[in-house]
Structure 1
Amino acid sequence: MEVTLLGTGDTTGTPTVGCTCEVCERARDPDDALRTQLRDRGVAVGDRGVERTRFSVHVRNERTDETLLIDASPDFRTQFLREDLDVPDAAVISHVHFDHLDGLGNLYRLTRDMPVYAASEVDPATGRSVAESVRQRYDYLDVIDVRARDPFASFRVAGFDVTLVPVDHPPLSCYGLVVEDPETGAKLSLSGDTSYDVPEESRDALAGADLLLVDGILPADRCDTHPAGGADYVDGVPMTYGSKHMTIEGARRFGEELDAGELRIVHLSHYLPVETAFDRPLAVDGETFVL
């Protein structure tokens, strides 16, 4: 299983349009120390510097040469050109926020048939399942074949066993994912966009991954910038920023609790200390893992 992090940023990405903060400026023009650090991680730093585009993950089955896209970033075209990738064989959508969904519009004229998997259970906030919402939003694209799947019910796609697991991203329904290779036993888990308050059944499903990608948007000491503050305190430290995303501290603890072989924190904002903004386990675009 070959995993490429196509997009590791939040809804605005890093660098953020119009922002001159230290993190965005260092991303635009990385210093030699950062370039060396990223090369050591196998990341090519191009003319545009360091990127954290909107969230998306590419998974290739090396046995069958099939590929799976997890969430369709609005930066789809940039990501696929940057990594020199072909159109994926299938996609899974975790929820209907634009930064995880709107890349599907890029499929027009690129493929004749794209199975897109999403959860079947009805979201009380919308009155529709994620699958129904995707189908309705892209009803003009006949190349998209939306296939509804029940949470916790594994399904086979691209030679992998994939499972959708409910997480906590109010007010919308959102799902983490487990991707397992039935031949090699390799396991990739993604928390999805979520607070730290992930249901125990979902935690159990996500646990023990070779690689765990966890939503962590910014440090706990920035929770005072959110109208709702922080939540899910552990030893006086908020594990959740507001109600929808983990703090960096929450994501680290989540990874420890789930006994991940390797942890990367994703969906990162640019509100980070510049000295450590690009350090492991904070992910950057272009990182590749072979599980």
Structure 2
Amino acid sequence: MRVTLLGTGDTTGTPTVGCDCETCELARERGLERTRFSVHVENERIDESLLIDFSPDFRTQFLREEVPLPDAAVVTHIHFDHLDGLGNAFRLFDSLSVYAADETDPATGASVAETVASKYDYLELLSVQPITPFETIYLCDLEVTLVPVEHPPQRCYGLTIEDPATGSKLSVTGDTSFAIPDRSREVLADPDLLLADAIVPAHLCEYHPAGGRHEGPDGVPRTFGTKHMTREGALALAEELNAERTRLVHVSHFYPADEAFEEPLALDGETYTI
């Protein structure tokens, strides 16, 4: 599998529009970018590819990285920075199957699949396929499994993608706090590459109205507020999951400039063959 990180930023990206903070200014000076989240996974054995989430920066990402358009896609949840790029499918595809969870979300009264189908009902080329979490399906000759994570108030999912021919495994946490259910952790475990949500460093929790949560044995918060992991939380999860390699994604511009581009924080355009 060839994994390309199309977008590694949070909902505003880095640099953020209209922001002159030190981190955004440094990103501009160095020509670095974290657009909104999306991952491209290519099965080079059969020359087919799978997209995880539709970033609003879809057009920029695909032109910049020159990766092939996907043969299928998975949507992890309905927040705009993961879904609203789907409108780019107009005139680009003759047909496209998009897979999303079939569980009804009490917060919306609909599943992710139902919401995607309703919002993009004008796209006749689109076929939305409901899938059940923990049930493995085959897309692009790869094994794909959705797992529930914790991103209140709406339902959100992580996923694994495994190549049955090579045994290689990619795990993606999705947008989540550290409180990922045990059953989901079991599925996510032992990846060759882990992409983990790490929106800010733990020391910024003191500035969040909800503070930090899920403190480790050292007292350091592993969750920022209620919805996302801290850098320290993501790294603790990576250790727990026994990840061979970890890249931190969904990174915000709130990281101080002297920390914002340090390892293992990911940047757009990184590629990995696993």
Q: TM-score range by the shorter chain?
A: over 0.9
Q: Which residue of 2 aligns with 1:254?
A: 237
CA displacement at 1:207 relative to structure 2: 0.5
Q: Which residue of 2 aligns with 1:7?
A: 7
Tell me the amino acid that sits aligned with residue 71 of structure 1: D
Give runs of ≥4 in structure 1 deviating > 6 Å: none
CA displacement at 1:86 relative to structure 2: 2.6
Residues 9-158 of structure 1 correspond to what in structure 2 (within 5 A)? 9-30=9-30, 49-158=31-140
Q: Secondary structure of 2:204's match? A: helix
Distance 2:174 2:70 in 1: 20
Q: In structure 1, which of residues 252, 259, 272 is the aligned counterpart of residue 255 of structure 2?
A: 272
Q: Secondary structure of 2:179's match? A: coil
Q: Tell me the alpha carbon deviations over residues 112-149 of structure 1, each in whole angstroms, 9 at most, x when there is no partner.
A: 11000000011111110000000000001111100000
Q: Which residue of 2 aligns with 1:207?
A: 189
Aligned residues: 273
Tell me the amino acid that sits aligned with residue 227 of structure 2: K
Q: Secondary structure of 1:192's match? A: coil
Residues 221-232 of structure 1 correspond to what in structure 2 (within 5 A)? 221-232=203-214
Q: Name whichever of 225-234 and 145-154 sits farther off.
A: 225-234
Distance 1:283 1:129 in 2: 30
Q: Tell me the alpha carbon deviations over residues 154-206 of structure 1, each in whole angstroms, 9 at most, x when there is no partner.
A: 00001100000000000000000000001000100000000000000000100
Unpaired segments ≥5 residues, structure 2: none
Q: Tell me the alpha carbon deviations over residues 39-70 of structure 1, each in whole angstroms, 9 at most, x when there is no partner.
A: xxxxxxxxxx1010000000000100100000
CA displacement at 1:85 relative to structure 2: 2.2
| 1:194 correspondence with 2:176 | yes
Percent identity among equivalent residues?
A: 62
Distance 1:119 1:80 in 2: 25
Q: Secondary structure of 2:252's match? A: coil
CA displacement at 1:251 relative to structure 2: 0.6
Distance 1:112 1:130 in 2: 23
Q: Secondary structure of 1:256's match? A: helix
